[in-house]
Amino acid sequence: MSGKKLSIMDAVFLAGESRETMMHVGGLFPFTPPADAKPGFLRALADELRETPEIVAPWNLRLRTPELLKNPLQSWIEDDAFDMEYHVRRSALPTPGDERELGILVSRLHGIQLDFHRPPWELHIIEGLQGGRFALYFKIHHALVDGYTSMRMLASTLSEDPDDRDTPMFFSQRPRARPPTELAPPTLTTITDMARTQMGAAREAGRALMNVFRAARDHDRDLVSPLQAPSSIINRRITRNRRFATQQYPIARLKRIARATGATLNDVVLTLCGAALRRLLVELDALPAAPLIAMVPVNIRPKDDPGGGNAVGSILASLATDLEDPLARLQAVMASAQRAKAELQGMSRSAILQYSAVMMSPLSLQQLTGTGGRVRPAFNVVISNVPGPERPLYFRGARLEAIYPLSIPTHGYGLNITINSYVDTINFGFTGCRDSVPRLQRLAVFTGQALDELEAAIPQ
């Protein structure tokens, strides 16, 4: 039985797995059933998925040594006893289930650890929503497939044709074959070129890091440095229990703000999150004097990359939670995000990874030493914005209503906000520790109030 060794980043996600810090990501996908759906539509759907004749990699891969997650020689092997009944499950809400009950169920499902003796993913069919609607909840370990790749693979199951009933499921689709490439044996020249490339990347990363450290020395608040974030109540130790909340807004509202102010869509997203956090912490009498800092993942894959594994850089940006005025907050977020992104301009992929690794080293050190939640955080919250499909998608004739991402809280970083666009909407998914991040649903609602305030503040 052959094995595929884990990459360094994949192994880091696996090593971070514990009862409290579960390293799986997920997605919630609500659907409106087709007009011709029969009473047994969802039962037939579950039966169809469970009878899939072939499961392909990576969906049929499990760990070689599931009892030793921190094994430095860990690898993926094919699961000879793959059990689709285990991976595809049905759940039901008390009819008619509302959005709150759906959120409670998904929160509980997301707080259950994956079984590493099996391929680490699950697909839940959730029925009982109002109006005959249903939802799919999917979760997968970040070491097997990163969030970017899993979203692309899931999208391949959906169709732009509402009459399509035959598109194969993601776990039975073979990846597109790449043209075979012959690898020439290494020569002194190729080895020298590789070393020169890595040294060049190190110099690029080093120059950017010097700019960051110089900004910290000069008290330049726009370019955020590691450990600039204040301590806050959302940066404590966490438990295994999760809460999940969602919000959906017309993307045109955010784009209108961006056009009127010269901001990017992501600047507006960060500003709404910062405003919501400020309102919540003021309500709890727990707002730090210094602005909260967001870690913003940056996808560094080329457009034609098929995905697999992890390839993500990162920047740090101020959320300007110390500012009360909505427009002043947006301008401060814009300045901080632009300075951070400017450091990555012109960098090679390797340099970005090296730069990001150093910027995230305080986080890595806290996770390795178990001091997360006990010392000053490297940043306060992860906020990730992922572009989604621009056309309506269907699954066995059912129309996809929204895409709500779920992510990973860890010790010291009990809140994660992931945003995904879909057609003409933008969808916020708030994943938090149930016991250390209070009033998560209120935080989600506050983003809507922040959007209203920002619109009202823009000169007409």
Please identify every residue annotated as catalytic.
142
Buried b (16+ CB within 10 A) or exposed e, 302-335: eeeeebbbbbbbbbbbbbbbbbeebbebbbbbbb
Whether 265 contacts 258, CB under 8 Å? yes
Whether 31 contacts 135, CB under 8 Å? yes
The span from the CA of 256 to the CA of 248, in Å, is 16
The span from the CA of 436 to the CA of 411, in Å, is 10
Whether 25 contacts 153, CB under 8 Å? no
DSSP codes, 96-118? EE-HHHHHHHHHHHHTS---TTS
Q: How many CB atoms lie within 10 A of CB 192?
A: 10
Q: How many CB atoms lie within 10 A of CB 343?
A: 21
Residue 62: enclosing H or E segment and its boundaries? Answer: strand 61-63
Residue 312: beta bridge partners? 299
Amino acid at 125: I
The span from the CA of 70 to the CA of 235, in Å, is 25
Residue 34's closest CA among 416, 288, 454, 395?
A: 395
Range list of β-strands (E), 291-330:
293-299, 312-318
The span from the CA of 157 to the CA of 139, in Å, is 15
Whether 406 contacts 110, CB under 8 Å? yes
